[in-house]
Structure 1
Amino acid sequence: MAEFGTQQSEGDFDWSEMLHSWFFKGRIAFQRMWWVFLLTVGLGVSFQAYKGWQQKPVYQSRAKMIVDGQIVLTDKSAAQYSEVYANFYGTQVQLMTSSLVRQKAADRVRALHPEYLPCQVTLNVTQSKDANIFNLSAWGAEQNYTQAYLDAVMEEYLNFKRDRRESKAKDTVYSLQENLLEYQRQIEELEQQKLDFQKKNNIIFVQEQGNTAGAQLASLKDQQAQLKTQLRLLEEIDLDRFVDQGLPPGDEQALVESVLTETDTEYGQARRNLERLRAEMDEFSIYMKPKHPKIIDLKREIERQENLLKIIRRQTLNQVVNKKKILAGELANLNVVIQESEQKALKYSTLNAEFDRIKSRLASYSARHDSYLKMMESLHQSENIHQEPVTILEPATTPTTIPVNMFKQVTSGGLVGLALGVGILFAFAMTDNRLTSVEDVTQRFHAPVLGIIPLQKQRQGEVTLLQPNDDRLMFAESCRNIRSSLLFMDRQGPRPQTILVTSSIPAEGKSTLSSNLAITLAFASSKTLIIDADLRRGKAHRAFGLNANVGLSELLNDTELKPEDVIQQTSYEGLDLIATGEYPERPGELLMSTRFDQIMDELKKRYDYIILDCPPVLATDDTPSLATKADAVLFIIRSTYTRTRQIKSAVDTLELRGTKIRGFVLNFVDNREPNHYYYKYYDYYSYRSYAPKAGNHEKDKKGHPKHAEKIPSGEEHKTPVSGKKETVVAELVDKSAPANPEQKPDDNTDTDKTDKTV
């Protein structure tokens, strides 16, 4: 069964193609529903015209408001009401036209002028270009009410802003009062804490003791540092060892000497005397002999001084050892004193810090309290100062009558009607599911599209049949394309001999296409028979100029009749016709009879191809039953006419009977449709006339020309009748046409030369 649904196409999406398709659908919808535009435009124009004639006089009043300067106080502490000036003018316009201000204005007019008849007033507020002025305009049906309403709008606008300013001021005062009360409470609590602290502690004594304790602690810290330094120095030297062993050589000796010198001044004096004597000895030794009395005396004095120095050193070292012990004891005592002093200083400093914190908080709250008091005073002072920047420049003028612009009314009605018509047309075009292109068919059904037939002009409601040298090139080539597609679509299997042509609903062109398909098969030197199997409304004989006195119905009812008794020869060589005959009472039973099967078996032996022109599938049950007996079913779809649900229903009916549709044919296709633009290239091709040769235009016994349109296609097959090799006709192409269809033929090409056969 054919699958119904949308299949995604591959490749990039072509927006131009889609827009072209929409435009084409819109054009088709306009051709069908052009009267919708006339209806909607007429209704729009009529409605607006009626509205204009019935409209009451409209009065307009104007007024102006200006943005004034403001007095700026030199005292920066004075409170002023400041507005947000970002987007100031837009905000004022929105405020003037707000529903709140307009409602208050209407209430004001109703209260002050109850005699005025209320009406709907339209308000417009704009800002003058390059000026700080607002232009107000009001339109209404009542003259006095409109003027009073405009004045009331300005007054209520100013009242609203004044109320907002007063409300802000009240809120600010309330907030300041709350803060003042809070600060006053905090100040009272802090003053009480200060008083309680002073009662509990003598603040003057605490401050003096704190200062004294701090100075004493600093002095003790200095003594502690000095003692630690001396004790550390003494601890670095092993003085006990020096007392027993003497001074060591090197740096350690110098260190001990320095300690001893600082400890005992006598040791230092003796050490300096010894150095002086040694210096004199060195000096006298330069120019005196060793045994010189002076030198001998100096040596004795140096020896005596060295012995004295050793005695003093020993005594001093003992003093230093004792001093080390004394320093350790003093340092321990000093640490205890310092600890007590620190506790005392910490106590007094804590009391001082607590008292200072109370005083600091009290000063801070007092300063804030004073600041808020100044703000309160400035708010009271600014209440009498006018701070509104916008004031009334010109009150509302006496309203003037505005004439009704009928042209504008009618034009707007026409445009609205036109837009409504376009919308209706667009909705109709988008919801219309009629098939218009090959893509529409292939997206919804799996069976291929064997060909498309362009839209042709009709004579008396019918399309003229193909002729041997027909000048309708697109139409002729389309019919031949269907013939070739039908015969060569299955190159491996047998070609269909009996071809059933049908459609879903009437008026889709199936009979015309059946006749032209049979003609193209006859042009290919194939013996072809067309049977008008529409036993209810068949009229295929009319197109060939034949009668339907005796036809298929008589052949099926009368067993004595033979097929040759009802077969009629057409004006086309190799093409015969069996008309419907008289319309029978039960056509469905006749087509399903064994008599019909016997006749079809006999006809298959006589003809290469048999075309069955059947009624629409949805109209009768004849076609679904008869389709099971055909080799191929060709389904005709009329472009922009047949709806998708009708085609799907017909296809489902055929496939329910086990019939497989060989392919679709899209009929009545407008070549201006975006997917069929290539039809214009048929104008590059034309038929060529050959010089008469023997047998080329030989006529049969009835005077009909025998067609020599027989050119091999490259594949041969045996026909059921004669066994001759049948070939499919290939067209004669104009050699003057370029290979590229977009390339125009050269003007110098000799178009009179005879083309070669392809």
Structure 2
Amino acid sequence: MAENKLISGGSENKDMNKVISYYSKYWYLFLIGIILCIGIAYWYVNYEAVPEYRISSTLLVKDKDKGSGASDMEAIADLGLVKPIRNVEDEIGILKSSSLMEKALQDLSMQVKYSVPENISEEKFLQNLPVTILVDDSETLEYNVPIYIKMKDEKTFELYETNGGDKSVHSFQEKIRKPWGTFTVVKSTAIPASNWYSTISFYFQDIAAIADYYSKQLTVLQLTQAGGLLEISIVHPVPEQGEEILAQLIEAYRREAVAYRNELASSTIAMIDERLDFLTGELSNVEKNVEQFKRENALTNVNSDAELYLEKASEYNRQLAEYQTQIDVLNSIESYLSTEDGDGAMVPSSLNIQDPTLVGLISRFNDLQLERKRMLQTTPKSNPLVVDIDRQLTSLRSNILENLRNIKNGLIITSRNLAANTRRYESQIAKVPTVERGLLEINRQQSTKEGLYLYLLQKREEEALSMAAPVSNSRIIDAPKAGNYPVSPNKTSIYLGALIFGLFLPFSVIYVKEKINDKIGDTSDIQELTDTPILGEIAHNREKEKMVVGERNTTPVAELFRLIRFNLKFVSAGKANKVILVTSGMKGEGKTFFTLNLGASLAISGKKVVALSFDLRAPKLMRTVGLSDDFGISDFIINENIEASEIVVPSPEIKGLSFIGSGPIPPNAGELMLSNRIEVLIDELKKEYDYVLIDSAPVGKVADGFALAPYVDSTIYIVRHNVTRRRQLKTLDDIYRTGKLKRPMVVLNGIKTQEAYGYGYGAREKQSTAYKVRTAET
């Protein structure tokens, strides 16, 4: 025996065309989103965003590995004992430091922020500012307190706060003391009184916070990998003010570099002066001793017999004097390190001691001293970084002293050897008068002191000359200059972002709405949840009439009922299909509406149709067509004397269509559904009518519909668009898989989209070939 089944095309995934078609239904939301976001972007760009300009400058920083092309002034600046070691990476860090930015902003008096009046650009306002506020840095300021200055005449003004404080009259150039700060108001002589603003407001701002903000905004790039060419840039809403900030920052950087070099030179000069004072006294005493010795001993010439030995002894004495000079220098540095407290003092050079280890240790010591001094400007001594530097300085001081002692011990040993050689030759001139030997000793001391004195005097002049020539280690290539066009806001990016967001916002809303919506939307949702064949779709009835099918009615809804009528005939394929059960999962899905209009469609085609109101708990069929429901099925089941023809009521509108009401609502509807009288009723109706349509109770709520299963040929399960929930289709799938009801089929009711209007003029044709027939042998 073959059974014909109407099935859908399977549970295929939605293709891209269907997704596009689904979202295109909400085109108006995308249009609203685009217009709204573009409008907000337009308002932001034109009325809210502040245009910002990029100000840049190019600076050449001389690296520690200098070439041979230094100018004469740079060569003068490189004189001295101790040279600061610099590299480009360190200089970039110095330029971006907040302490340097703070000094630059203090030079520009940025502690005061002037409020710009309405309808006046900040650039124009600052150019025509009639007064300048000079802040007393020694006093504590209260930040962000609005203060107003109201001009009275060319000599006086009125001062008051915005919180309603007392007003006071002051003169220009007068030092004003208030709880929120001490300052002086200076009148600009370049702005005539006729161009003054009637009221000017200002407030004090935290210069440290502003410096931290600008230092983070500052960008320093090395233009060449091996060179010292730097590009310094900053973004600012007022180009002129941005140029001033950048120019002052570079000036502060150059000034600090010169000050550091001068500080190092001053420390060296102070040490040399100390030694020169000491050597001056010793030289004076030696010269007096020579004069006195010659006068007392009446010396005229040297013994010619000891001339050769004296020449040798003189050579050793000269070498001994050189080593003694080096020992004295080492003693001086050792004494300097032992007596200095180390609080920021620089260690002088080792002069003529050519020991690379000692030179490196002294250079590292001086670098750490400078770093410690810089950090103490912004951090306390208890800061862990400062404590770490102090620890390193202590360690370096110890290493330098140890190195000095080792070098000095070597020199002492060598000096002792030279002295021994000297004594050996002196023993050869034993005949030389004692007076002559004494004179030689005095001359040797004098020569040593004079050599050391001249050497130190030369180095002092070199250090003084380097201080007198204030040459910085940097040179400005391009002065700070703002660009012609603002870099912010980026209109193209903002409008593009607004367009994308305008599309994304409605898309996300629709997507989320679709994901959280658990109601049946179209046939694809049914196909995903069950394999039950789909008989057809019914469009949403926009009219109030319940009977939409008529002989001359060609509305889309009526055409779809005709299509379902054809599909029913197609499904039966010659087999008996007279008794059709119409049910649903819950109330309100349109099974009564469907039963009524399907019956009308079949009757119009020339068939005799009877529609039974078998929802004994909540009957609606008879009331829908305006007929009485007082006598019907419940009476037939209870009273065996009643014939089926007695409860049949012909339709007053459709020829060939009849109705059977439910009758009085019984208290035991479930028990009545199990009565044998139902079979008698169905058999009698099958003999008289071509189709018997049963409007039953929802099978998702009660089991009345299952009691009719033995008498029906097929079952139509009504699912309503955007009403039936997805979980309710589990009941339908269970019916299909277990066979609780014969040949179940699905009708999707209430489709509101144009695709459901399958037939009729001006509508898209929906052919029955959209449904496939599968023949299965049972």
Q: Relative contact order (alpha carbons < 8 A, sep ≥ 6): 1 or 2 greater?
A: 2
TM-score in same-fold range (> 0.5): no
More helix by share: 1
TM-score range, shorter chain: 0.3 to 0.5
Query: Taking structure 1 as the reference length, what is the TM-score of the superposition?
Result: 0.44
Higher alpha-carbon Rg:
1
Query: Taking structure 2 as the reference length, what is the TM-score of the superposition?
Result: 0.43
